[in-house]
């Protein structure tokens, strides 16, 4: 997806590190007015957030959207459960995979697309400790290779 049509609000940095991503889905989210205003100001956090399927509906749990200052007492609870908007077939597919294989639904990012707030939801499996160590080792090797390549490029000039 092009960056021009997506304006990133919040990213779950731990999501890709702690989980092995198997599939991603874009979902709308049901919000109240002050929440949208707060998101436009970029005041949201997806750390510790996850999604659950309850009674045929998907909810985003534990996502923090800061209260909007000018809303006064109309602000909802910052950590309330928020309904995610998906097609019935998508919900059924996600529910089946989560129930059957022990997978989980993790929000990876929150962004504006065509003026509407969207959530990138991932069907994921938790990584083991050795998988995380492997990811750290690979990331450090890549960083070292880029550093060396960059250093060589400068010496030739």
CATH number of the domain bearing residue 77: 2.40.280.10
Band of pLDDT at residue 152, cut at 50, 70 and 90? low
**24 found inside a domain:** yes
**2 found inside a domain:** no
> Do both 107 and 30 map to the same domain?
yes
> Do both 86 and 132 map to the same domain?
no
pTM score, whole prediction: 0.74
The Cα diameter of the chain in Å comes to 64
Task: Say what the pLDDT of residue 119 is.
Answer: 93
Predicted confidence (pLDDT) per residue in 16-31, tens digit: 878 888 889 999 999 8
Predicted confidence (pLDDT) per residue in 33-72, tens digit: 888 888 888 888 888 888 999 998 999 999 888 888 777 7
Counting the structural domains of the chain, the total is 2
Residues 114, 121, 85: CA angle, nearest 5 degrees: 60
HSE at residue 75, side-chain half, CA atoms within 13 A, is 16
Taking alpha carbons only, the member of 25, 29, 24 closest to residue 112 is: 29
> Do both 37 and 94 map to the same domain?
yes
Mean pLDDT of 83-103: 88
Domain region containing 147: 128-157
């Amino acid at each position: 997806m092009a960056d021009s049509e997506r304006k990133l609000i919040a990213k779950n940095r731990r999501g890709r590190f702690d989980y092995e991503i198997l599939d991603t889905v874009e979902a709308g989210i049901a919000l109240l007015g002050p929440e949208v205003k707060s998101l436009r100001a970029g005041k949201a956090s997806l750390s510790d957030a996850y999604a659950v399927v309850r009674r045929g509906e998907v909810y985003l749990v534990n996502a923090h959207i800061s209260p909007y200052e000018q809303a006064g007492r109309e602000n909802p609870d910052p950590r309330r459960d928020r309904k995610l908007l998906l097609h019935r077939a998508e919900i059924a597919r996600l529910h089946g995979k989560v129930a059957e294989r022990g997978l989980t639904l993790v929000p990876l990012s929150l962004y504006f697309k065509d003026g509407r707030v969207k959530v990138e939801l991932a069907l994921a499996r938790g990584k083991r400790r050795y998988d995380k160590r492997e990811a750290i080792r690979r990331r450090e090797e890549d960083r070292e290779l880029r550093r060396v390549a960059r250093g060589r490029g400068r010496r030739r000039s």
